[in-house]
Structure 1
Amino acid sequence: MSNKWDESYNIEKYRYGETPNLFFKQTIDALPTGKILLPADGEGRNGVYAATKGWSVDAFDQSQQAREKALRLANKNNVDISYQVMNFEDIAQNYMIDSYDVIALTYVHLPEQLKAKYQRSLLPFLKIGGHIILEGFSKDHVKYQEQNPSAGGPPHVEMMYSKREILSIFDSLKIDLLEELEVELAEGIGHNGKASVIRFIGQKI
């Protein structure tokens, strides 16, 4: 799978743009700065933004090409981020439990058989009182893809989210926000046009 993402990111432009996801930006702007973990952070738009706001940023992705572009973006913005090339299975060997104020998942779409396992595996690394932030395509997004392939999204509906699924995966968290809504995306060349998304904020208690 890493080869797929290396190929996807092997373009001069940033596939999803250089500016942060709007929901991610709005959410962390309202939180005290601290330490943040960004799984599957891609080309670094969210991690770099967080660093410019004073967050201590750890990020990872399975794509070496993504890491190289993220570090270039960090350099362009005069910030430092820690970015590793690895998979979800490697989390325990690389990060400390109870150490993050926020873990953010932005369009992290995983195979159905791995989704719950991988996302639950993040929870031990979140501090008590810390937040999970998630935005991803809802299962209803399929109809938007059919109308406009430029809207983006994974190739299989099973990789998308439902509110019920989020409640099941993160059933140990206090729900601060859970909504499904239509948005207009303008994120590089990868996400453009109307889309159906799930937004979630949960707190570890």
Structure 2
Amino acid sequence: MNNKWDESYNIEEYRYGETPNLFFKETIDKLPSGKILLPADGEGRNGVYAAKRGWTVDAFDQSSQGRDKALRLAQKNNVDISFKVIDFEDVSKNYITDSYDAIALTYVHLPEQLKIKYHRSLLPLLKIGGHIIIEGFSKEHVKHQQQNPLTGGPPLMDMMYSKQEILSIFDSLEIDLLEEKEIRLAEGIGHNGKASVIRFVGKKI
């Protein structure tokens, strides 16, 4: 469906590795397992980890190449995940409202004109008491990209996050965590080096 990501994932190795994002792992490890949705889950590293922890996993991505690698990774780890090749526009037609205990977005960077719409389209799917979990590059990350392209990140600053944007997009949620911090990424060949990130956990009330 999306040539850019199909090309990106059309390699033998997993571009961002086979192990979960550290913040995602640490966050869901603290929650009771339930049903989780993973938008833009790429090659499935987070979905497979959640399934190993006892979560029922639904995931989607624009890339059929990513989906195929995710399903292979699930098979390798002896778990089942449901993985669709769709876009954010198709979310309401494919998933049931009030059905998820958690929704997690890891390095999901959207065009500025779609950022609010697509993020908010996920909220009806979340149960009361459910959590939105996000880690993504902050606007301060541009300086790290300039110094080290291997650190990764979207091509435009507008696609990165700020704390104020998160507060605006998810103004209906109770904030459990919102921070901007410098970290060192070592995720496959796609994310390597110093990075500036936004981390957010919000609860539907």
Report the TM-score when normalising by structure 2: 0.99
Question: After the TM superposition, which residues 57-96 of structure 1 pair with which residues of structure 2 at under 5 Å, given as runs?
Answer: 57-96=57-96
Q: What is the Cα deviation at residue 93 of structure 1?
A: 1.0
Q: What is the Cα deviation at residue 47 of structure 1?
A: 0.1
State the 4+ residue runs in structure 1 displaced beyond 3 angstroms.
Answer: none
Does the alignment pair 1:106 with 2:95?
no
Report the TM-score when normalising by structure 1: 0.99
One-letter identity of the residue aligned with 2:182: E
Question: After the TM superposition, which residues 18-29 of structure 1 pair with which residues of structure 2 at under 5 Å, given as runs?
Answer: 18-29=18-29
Distance 2:66 2:58 in 1: 14
Question: After the TM superposition, which residues 179-190 of structure 1 pair with which residues of structure 2 at under 5 Å, given as runs?
Answer: 179-190=179-190
Question: After the TM superposition, which residues 35-46 of structure 1 pair with which residues of structure 2 at under 5 Å, given as runs?
Answer: 35-46=35-46
Q: How many residues align?
A: 205
Percentage of matched positions with identical amino acids: 80
CA offsets, 1:61-81, max 9 Å, x none?
A: 000000000000000000000
One-letter identity of the residue aligned with 2:202: G
Structure 2 residue aligned with 1:139: 139
Q: What is the Cα deviation at residue 129 of structure 1?
A: 0.2
CA offsets, 1:11-38, max 9 Å, x none?
A: 0000000000000000000000000000
Match of 1:5, SS state, is helix
One-letter identity of the residue aligned with 1:114: L
Distance 1:118 1:40 in 2: 12
Structure 2 residue aligned with 1:159: 159
Distance 2:175 2:190 in 1: 29
Distance 1:112 1:13 in 2: 31
Q: What is the Cα deviation at residue 92 of structure 1?
A: 1.0
